[in-house]
Chain A
Amino acid sequence: MNENMRLARFKLRSILNSLGLLVLAVVAIGWAIPILWALAVSVHPPDEPLSAANLWFGSHPTLANYAQAFQIAPFVQYYINTILIVFGILIVQLVTISLAGYAFARFRFRGQNILFFLILLQLMVPSSALIVPNYSTIRQLHLFDTLLAVMLPFFGSAFGTFLMRQTFRTVPRDLDDAARMDGANWLQTLWYVYIPPARPAMIAFALSSISFHWNDFLWPLVVTNSTNSRPLTVGLAVFTQLGEIGAQWPLVTAGTVIVVGPLLLLFLIFQRQFIDSFLHSGLK
């Protein structure tokens, strides 16, 4: 390769590189615009109509839309409901998956494989395809329009059970035996020997569970019907579809920001952890 060719190649490469960076910057701006616009319009004065000439903050940014959104819809109640649902599911899940994971990791019992397989079937049949029968189950249990109805189908988790089983298997058996020698019962063994090293796996599971149920829409839409049990997602849908709101975009975007604001703030602070947890939760 002669000197000229090398130089030409180098030039070509640096041109391609700058071109790549330019594309990247343009696409990134395009990606960011929807949320930036929503934030800007949420402080747009309600009495100034949006138009092609007046598309962003308006003449004087105001929090009036937020005040009105809170007045029209019980967003605080929706927040409480979502938090109760999400953490209610999580706490029960952590108990059930630890117990089942422990059993599958450290016990030999008849039917073990078939039972494990039956539980794993949950990974293969997505819950959204089962809303028809699950809705009638909830009706039969007289749980319609309760927080429990939103939570109940998710108390058992195949993914969590699988994860705990894999994690508990890495705990040396000697530790288990030593604990038993010292007179610990199974619960104490589980609590003091198995749970501490499984903490990172449990946190990863918790983050994926929280983000899935925080965002879930169809199931809560099906089984809730009042302010007392509606989570944020369903609450926002009801809010934007209220006749009185129509196309008052500053108000609608304020409602949206109320719903996503805290989430975005948490994401800004814990970006790394969020991304890691999403990386590890390919299986929900």
Chain B
Amino acid sequence: MRLRPRTPNAKKERRFRIGAAALPYLLISPTLLFVAVFTLFPTLRVFYDSLFLQNQAVQQPQFTGFGNYTALFQDPTFNQVIVNTVIYVLATVPLSIFLALILALLLNQKIRALGLYRLAFFYPTILPMVSAATIWLFMYTPGYGLVNVFIEFFHIPSQNWLGDPNLALLALIILGIWKQTGYFMIFYLAGLQGLPYDIFEAASLDGASAIQSTRYLTFPLLAGTTLFVTTIAVVNAFETVDQIYIMTGGGPNNATAMLLFNLWQTLFSFLDNGQASAISVILIIVLLIFTVTNFLYTERRDAYE
């Protein structure tokens, strides 16, 4: 190593090097700041706040350990919320994915007016959920709502869909399927178009029928798409809130209250910060399981590509 004389130039060079070492930190600092203030710190804070009693009944937050959680799980309303959410997820996710796959298979051939079909199935995706829910509020109107006009055609009497505790959740499930099936369909269409054509040709030469090659080639080859779409669908379903706010307000008799809506209600209607935080933690843990799966899966897929 050569010793350099101390000249003004060397000093400047050293200052530049210190600046250079700080540069990457400077570059990431805005992102890091916003992520820290609105994601990292709040995540820790809801965990912490969920351990305190903090509502209209107490003047100062009181430490209560897991009190908020035990209170929640002993509360029949919250149990209903969990049941509703699980039913909603278990109904909308498989049904819309299955329908999306069928539609994609039907659309993945030479047919007339393909663009029109794609338009019909995909437009609900681009509508804000609030607008879609407003339209469906109208669709479900007792008497002349088109859903009722439709079922009356089959001699089923008109129903008060959103006012009947036995039907309200079903009404939201139908809206959920209508809203997202087209979105999942385009993933399947893209998946189908990416399938290796020569394998199908070989299968057909070997005498495989269309149904056989769909069953033994198409479905397994689309498994990646299905896993990806399922994760998105599950996370979206757990975050259902807009349509509940617009259409039912969680009613009748909590028949349509789900996790995120219940969180909003606990915070702004019941002003119970401690319980709202506990619900947030439950929601975060549930969603974390699915987003981590999604993340690991996409990482792995990227690694293969």
Chain A residues with a Cβ under 8 A of chain B: 9, 13, 20-21, 23-24, 27-29, 31-35, 37-38, 41, 50-52, 55, 95-97, 99-100, 102-104, 107, 109, 112, 115, 118-135, 137, 152-158, 161, 166, 186, 211, 214-215, 217-218, 221-222, 232-234, 236-237, 240, 247, 249, 252-253, 255-256, 259-260, 263-264, 267-268, 271, 274-275, 278-279, 282-283
Contacts and interface: CB of A to CB of B under 8 A. Distances in A.
Contact of A131 (B39, B128, B263): B263
B291 A124 contact: yes
**Interface SS, B side:** helix
Contacts of B131: 233, 236, 256, 259-260
A275 B118 contact: yes
Interface in B112-135: 115-132, 134-135
Given A96-B30, A215-B128, A38 B264 contact: no
Contacts of A221: 245
Given A123-B291, A131-B264, A233 B31 contact: no
B157 to A, nearest CB: 13
Contacts, number: 266
A237 B246 contact: yes
Given A34-B124, A100-B32, A236-B128, 7 more contacts: A31-B121, A120-B295, A125-B291, A132-B46, A132-B273, A156-B39, A211-B126
B117 A24 contact: yes
A256 B135 contact: yes
B288 A249 contact: no
Given A128-B241, A137-B38, A100 B28 contact: yes
Contacts of A158: 31, 35
Interface stretch (B77-85, B90-98, B139-147, B163-171): B139-147
A253 B138 CA distance: 8
A153 to B, nearest CB: 4
A120 B126 CA distance: 27
Given A28-B120, A96-B30, A260 B38 contact: no
Contacts of A104: 28
B119 A271 contact: yes
Interface of B: 21, 23-25, 27-28, 30-43, 45-46, 49, 103, 106-107, 111, 115-132, 134-139, 141, 143-144, 146, 149, 178, 182-183, 186-187, 190, 209-210, 228, 232, 235, 239, 241-242, 245-246, 260, 263-264, 267-268, 273, 276-277, 280, 283-284, 287-288, 291-292, 294-295, 298, 302
A280 B111 CA distance: 26
B176 to A, nearest CB: 13
B106 A155 contact: no
A13 B209 CA distance: 10
A173 to B, nearest CB: 16
12 contacts: A29-B120, A37-B138, A118-B36, A119-B31, A121-B39, A129-B284, A256-B134, A263-B127, A271-B122, A279-B190, A282-B187, A283-B294
A161 B31 contact: yes
A151 to B, nearest CB: 10
Contacts of B126: 211, 263-264, 267, 274
Contacts of A153: 34, 38-39
Nearest to B50: A132
Contact of A99 (B30, B36, B241): B30
Nearest to B183: A278
A25 to B, nearest CB: 8
A276 to B, nearest CB: 9
Nearest to B27: A103
Contacts of B178: 31, 34
A233 B130 contact: yes
Given A55-B146, A118-B35, A37 B246 contact: no
Contacts of A127: 38-39
Nearest to A111: B25
A27 B149 CA distance: 17
